Each structure stands twice: as structure tokens, then as C-alpha cells.
């Protein structure tokens, strides 16, 4: 029997029926490789009375993305000012719940500062809360007062109330900054914000880390140091996750060795919500993540690359990864698992294609190239579905999927007592979900239905049954959502 089992990924995948335990908060499930059970009906049960919230204050902040703070430095970003009205329409349509924006210059009046402010206004107008991330290390003596003054200008003078989170040091464990200097800087920032009377307006989310590839850079060591020495300062932690999509079912989480970002989620959840002492546990924000394709063959490093290997530019047989169903499908897998595991945000890199620096050559973007009319990528429609079907402040509740091949599911209960169920069908064939535990008339909004490929449509449910097409995502609710104006699925 050829068994492949990835712990916590809703069961095992094999050439014959296999059962294995998923994470401690999941039921035993069965998955299949192949099409033996295509077209069958499987149970999905929601228990809205049983919360699976992992830490106090860990309610859902949002699905979202990153917006380029240097957008309005047109020579640098490569964006024409005449294209901005359409970009603003796209951002409004996306409806990201939570976004992250770098700040590179804390001096009001500078180009970087004023560009940040305009981007923050765009995000706030579209309904997002904002994590302001200082892109540098933040360890110089003058930094605490400098960033506190900048935040006072933004929050109090200019009224940018959507800025509610502050992170210092992007991927700090990949820099030369020492843990001791970083922790001293955090304490200095906390004191400076209190002196300005604005500390209560902000949550400090730190450290902001990647997995790390060496013992000194490993994320667990950085988090433990901050938790032990600055636990009274930080309100949450931030983790970044990247991986190549062909390794999503890998048995390692080391991205340098063909690791899985999905498995890293599982292992990180065990660390943050289990291995850390209870007093040190905080909400955890996934403030950057992305599934990559194959690296460009020319060695340019222009991620996320291509769906196919051996490619250097788009053309027949060479598909830019952001434009593919695979990109959105693996984004959905990460999003749904993140909410089920108790993380507080999932922000896909990046919101729109543009340059962060003169040598920046990446091709990430849920909204594509401005010169092509800011096209909406498959992950744009997916993130729109997730953001508009759920509500910030919700907390995860128990979901059981009885033997569903390829189904990944999560459910959330809003502050108003309304439940939304999210189901991903990863399989290459359709299957039907028989939904129980959600009384009343149910409506589903689907991504990648055959009548709306890579996009969205709406479908009323009959007797709680929903057939999910191959490689699709559904949001199911018994209440109104912001997705009510979608065309019906055909």
C-alpha cells in the first residue's frame, strides 16, 4: 500500500483507504488519491457552540494582503498616476479585511511618508485595518521617539484610525540585528508610545519572523526570547510563510529542502499555542505568505515564477504563477487551514504588482500589472470571497468532515452570532457536501465554479447539499453577506 500522510492536512492520501489522526482539534478522516469516490456525498457538520479559539484576544482580524507604501513614488514603483483611480476601484472591490503596509521614512513631508499616508487612506477607505511595519531594524537610540512622533502624526493629527497594529523590523531574524538589541528597541518603542499617549491605540506585533534556516535564525528562538524578555510589551507575534506549491504535501516544513508551508502552519500552531508557556501565548498573525511556482530558469529570482519548470518569460507552456488556478488553490488551502488552526490573520503577498525598490523584479500581485489595466488574478477573486463572506472579530468553531476526499473546512462564528462555513475541494473531481448544524436557508458563494472559472458566483442550497466542483472553494452562510450581488452559478 503506497501511503502518503501529511500530519494535520485533514488526513492521509493513499492508493487505498487509509485513516489517520489529524491535528488534536480535528477528527479522524479519510482521503483518497484518484477518483474512487468522485461524485459521492460526504457529511460536513458545524458545531457553532464549541469554540476552538486558541488564545484570549485571538479572534480573526482578517484575510488580506500587503500594499506597497511606495506606490506614489512613481519613478520607483513603476506605476503611472493616471492608473490610480482604477487601482482604487480594484482595492475597494477586493475588500481586504486586514492589510500590512511598510513605512520606510518616519519624517512627515518626505516622499516615503506621504506616499505611505495615501496608501493607508486607500486601505482604510476600502474597510481594512492596517499593520504598519517599520521596514528597518529599529534599534538606533533615536528610533523610539522618531516612530512615536510619526504615529502620533498619523493617528492623532491626521486621524488614520485604521492603523491599529505596529511591527518593528521586517523578517528580523534574516537581518544582522541581535536579539538583545531588538528587544531593547521594542521596550523603547513601548515607552515612547506611552509618553505620547497613543500606546492604547496600537497593538505591538513582534517579532516579525520567517521560519529561518539556521539555528540562530530559527523563528522559535526569536519568539521565545521576545516572549521571555518583552512579554509585557508585545500583544502578538508575526510569522511569514513561503513555499513551492508542488511541495504542499511534503513531510518537511523547511522551504530550503522542498518544504511545505501547510505543514509549517501545523508545526507553528503546536509551538505558538502548545509549546510556549500559557502566560507567553499571544495571538499570531500570518502577515506574509505565498505559494511559489518554479523559479525562473534565467536565475533572475523573479518570484513567484511559473507554473511550469524551465521558463524565463511568459509564453506557450510558460504560465506566470500568479495567473493560475494553482496559485489561488494553494492560497485557499493555506487560508482555510490558518483559520481552523487559530491564527488571527492570513495576508497573501502581494496586493498589486509594483516595485518596492529600483532592483525589485518580483511579479507577485493579486492585482496584476498596471500597464495591462490592473487585471484581477484568480487569488483576487478568492480573497474577495473569503473577506466578504466572513467578519473580523469572528472566532473558529468546530467542524467535522466525515471522510471527504480532498475537503478542507473551517467555520467561524461572528460577534453577532452568525456562522460562516468555508470548504475547499482540492480534488480533481467534484463531490457533494451534506451540511448539518447550520439551520435556516443556506446560500453558497463559489470560487472557480465551471460557469465562472477563476471567479465567483452564487448558488442557493437545496436541503443543505452543495456539490463542490473540482478545485473550488465555497463560502456557505445562513445570513446576508457582502457577496449578495454575484451572478448565479449556472
**What is the reported pLDDT for 405?**
62
CATH code at 458?
2.60.40.1180
Q: Are 293 and 340 found together in one domain?
A: yes
Of the residues 363, 389, 415, the one at which a domain ends: 389
Per-residue pLDDT of the chain (490 residues; tens, 9 = 90+): 232 323 232 222 222 222 222 332 333 233 333 344 577 888 999 999 999 999 999 999 999 999 999 999 999 999 999 999 999 999 999 999 999 999 999 999 999 999 999 999 999 999 999 999 999 888 999 999 999 999 999 999 999 999 999 999 999 999 999 999 999 999 999 999 999 999 999 999 999 999 998 888 899 999 999 999 999 999 999 999 999 999 998 989 987 778 999 999 999 999 999 999 999 999 999 999 999 999 999 999 899 999 999 999 999 999 999 999 999 999 999 999 999 999 999 999 999 999 999 888 889 999 999 999 999 999 999 999 999 999 999 999 999 987 766 789 999 999 999 999 999 999 888 989 999 999 888 999 999 999 999 999 999 898 899 999 999 999 999 898 988 779 999 9
- Please write the tens of the pLDDT for every residue from 203-235: 999 999 999 988 888 999 999 999 999 999 999
Q: Are 405 and 472 found together in one domain?
A: yes
The total of structural domains in the chain comes to 2
Decide if 118 contacts 101 (C-beta within 8 A): no
**What is the reported pLDDT for 191?**
98
Q: Are 466 and 331 found together in one domain?
A: no
Q: Are 26 and 41 found together in one domain?
A: yes
- On whether residue 145 sits in a domain, the answer given is yes
- On whether residue 490 sits in a domain, the answer given is no
Rounded Cα distance, 113 and 69, in Å: 8
- Please write the tens of the pLDDT for every residue from 285-320: 999 999 999 999 999 989 999 999 999 999 999 999
Q: Are 168 and 153 found together in one domain?
A: yes
Q: Are 176 and 33 found together in one domain?
A: no
**What is the reported pLDDT for 3?**
29
The distance from CA 69 to its chain's CA centroid, rounded to whole angstroms, is 19
Beta bridge partner(s), residue 51: 397
**H or E element in which residue 167 lies:** strand 163-168
Q: Are 78 and 50 found together in one domain?
A: no
**What is the reported pLDDT for 101?**
98
Q: Are 46 and 71 found together in one domain?
A: no
DSSP 358: T
Distances (CA, A) of 57 to 13, 60, 111, 209, 420: 35, 9, 36, 21, 20
Rounded Cα distance, 242 and 291, in Å: 6
CATH code at 327?
3.20.20.80
Beta bridge partner(s), residue 396: 412
Q: Are 382 and 258 found together in one domain?
A: yes
Q: Are 188 and 259 found together in one domain?
A: yes
Decide if 236 contacts 344 (C-beta within 8 A): yes
Domain that holds residue 17: 3-55+394-477
- On whether residue 124 sits in a domain, the answer given is yes
Q: Are 361 and 412 found together in one domain?
A: no
Q: Are 24 and 154 found together in one domain?
A: no
Rounded Cα distance, 465 and 236, in Å: 39
**What is the reported pLDDT for 485?**
79
**What is the reported pLDDT for 37?**
59
299 Cβ neighbours under 8 A, 6+ residues apart: none
Amino acid at each position: 500500500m503506497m501511503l502518503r500522510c501529511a500530519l494535520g492536512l485533514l488526513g492521509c492520501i493513499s492508493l487505498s483507504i487509509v485513516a489517520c489522526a489529524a491535528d488534536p482539534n480535528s477528527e479522524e478522516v479519510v482521503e483518497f488519491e484518484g477518483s474512487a469516490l468522485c461524485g459521492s456525498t460526504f457529511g460536513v457538520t458545524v458545531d457553532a457552540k464549541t469554540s476552538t479559539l486558541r488564545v484570549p484576544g485571538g479572534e480573526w482580524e482578517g484575510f488580506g494582503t500587503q500594499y506597497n507604501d511606495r506606490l506614489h513614488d512613481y519613478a520607483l514603483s513603476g506605476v503611472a498616476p493616471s492608473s490610480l483611480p482604477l487601482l482604487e476601484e480594484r482595492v475597494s472591490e477586493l475588500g481586504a479585511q486586514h492589510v500590512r503596509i511598510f513605512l520606510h521614512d518616519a519624517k512627515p513631508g518626505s516622499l516615503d511618508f506621504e506616499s505611505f499616508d495615501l496608501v493607508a487612506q486607500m486601505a482604510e477607505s476600502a474597510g481594512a485595518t492596517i499593520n504598519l511595519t517599520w521596514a528597518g531594524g529599529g534599534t538606533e537610540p533615536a528610533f523610539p521617539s522618531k516612530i512615536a512622533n510619526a504615529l502620533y502624526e498619523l493617528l492623532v493629527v491626521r486621524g488614520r484610525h485604521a492603523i491599529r497594529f505596529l511591527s518593528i523590523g521586517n523578517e528580523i531574524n534574516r537581518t544582522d540585528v541581535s536579539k538583545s538589541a531588538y528587544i531593547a528597541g521594542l521596550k523603547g518603542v513601548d515607552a515612547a508610545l506611552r509618553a505620547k499617549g497613543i500606546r492604547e491605540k496600537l497593538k505591538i506585533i513582534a517579532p516579525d519572523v520567517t521560519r529561518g534556516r539556521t539555528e540562530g535564525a530559527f523563528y522559535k528562538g526569536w519568539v521565545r526570547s521576545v516572549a521571555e524578555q518583552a512579554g509585557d510589551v508585545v500583544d502578538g507575534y508575526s510569522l511569514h510563510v513561503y513555499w513551492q506549491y508542488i511541495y504542499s504535501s511534503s513531510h518537511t516544513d523547511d522551504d530550503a529542502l522542498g518544504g511545505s508551508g501547510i505543514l509549517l502552519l501545523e508545526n507553528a500552531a503546536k509551538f505558538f499555542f502548545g509549546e510556549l508557556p500559557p502566560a507567553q501565548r499571544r495571538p499570531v498573525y500570518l502577515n506574509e505568505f505565498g505559494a511559489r511556482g518554479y523559479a525562473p530558469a534565467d536565475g533572475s529570482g523573479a518570484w513567484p515564477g511559473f507554473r511550469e519548470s524551465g521558463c524565463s518569460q511568459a509564453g506557450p507552456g510558460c504560465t506566470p504563477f500568479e495567473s493560475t488556478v494553482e496559485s489561488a488553490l494553494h492560497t485557499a488551502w493555506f487560508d482555510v487551514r490558518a483559520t481552523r488552526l487559530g491564527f488571527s490573520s492570513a495576508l497573501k503577498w502581494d496586493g498589486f504588482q509594483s516595485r518596492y525598490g529600483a532592483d525589485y523584479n518580483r511579479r507577485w500581485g493579486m492585482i496584476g500589472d498596471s500597464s495591462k489595466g490592473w487585471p484581477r488574478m484568480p487569488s483576487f477573486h478568492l480573497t474577495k470571497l473569503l473577506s466578504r463572506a466572513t467578519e473580523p472579530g469572528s472566532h473558529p468553531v468546530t467542524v467535522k468532515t466525515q471522510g471527504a476526499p480532498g475537503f478542507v473546512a473551517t467555520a467561524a462564528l461572528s460577534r453577532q452570532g452568525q456562522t460562516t462555513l468555508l470548504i475547499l475541494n482540492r480534488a480533481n473531481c467534484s463531490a457533494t457536501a451534506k451540511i448539518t448544524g447550520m439551520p435556516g436557508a443556506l446560500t453558497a458563494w463559489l470560487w472557480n465554479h465551471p460557469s465562472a472559472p477563476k471567479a465567483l458566483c452564487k448558488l442557493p442550497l437545496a436541503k443543505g447539499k452543495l456539490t463542490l466542483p473540482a478545485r473550488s472553494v465555497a463560502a456557505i452562510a445562513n445570513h446576508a453577506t457582502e457577496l449578495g450581488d454575484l451572478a448565479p452559478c449556472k
